[in-house]
Structure 1
């Protein structure tokens, strides 16, 4: 019994960390060269005047937590896949047996990231 309780605690604590990954998507290039710069999270699509390349679908989730860590994990997945922005982002909270925050969106590489204003487009930089 003394070893069961610590083992359960370890499993629960490691399972609570935010997890994220990049899904292959039809028409997507797959992961590009990672970068250390900011990533814009947008709930809307990009303007047609802002050319971009689809990389894939970024997905993040966190058990027993809120969206702050989930959005940060989503942005980190974007960075590691070479994305400048996550567009058409959706998020939801599933408060069932094990509460979980989820966020997902399309990871894109902008053709001209220097001319893109994330805040003016309604997004938030991470």
Structure 2
């Protein structure tokens, strides 16, 4: 069972073309961290997640967004999860489809608040070598 999460990111892909759009790094709210852990540990479906301080590193395929407009994308969610029995941090990646929108109107590639919604899991992978 996992008890904490850190360094969450999402690699975003255009749903129609499959092209890489960019990578977002953010901080989950306490409620979002709990929801993510319940999702990964117990398979409890996510309704929506609020992420704070989102920094987005766009690719050459990125088209600037319209603030507060909803976008449907594919992505790879990655994070380090703390294993409760060993205390080790385990890298995990989850392939997902989701809707997202900014909840703020800053220009550029930083958003103080982002909402993810209608998150569906394609597969979960525990990264091991």
TM-score between both structures, scaled by the size of structure 2: 0.30
Q: Which has the larger radius of gyration?
A: 1
Q: Which has the higher strand share?
A: 2
TM-score between both structures, scaled by the size of structure 1: 0.30
Higher relative contact order (CA 8 A, sep 6+): 1
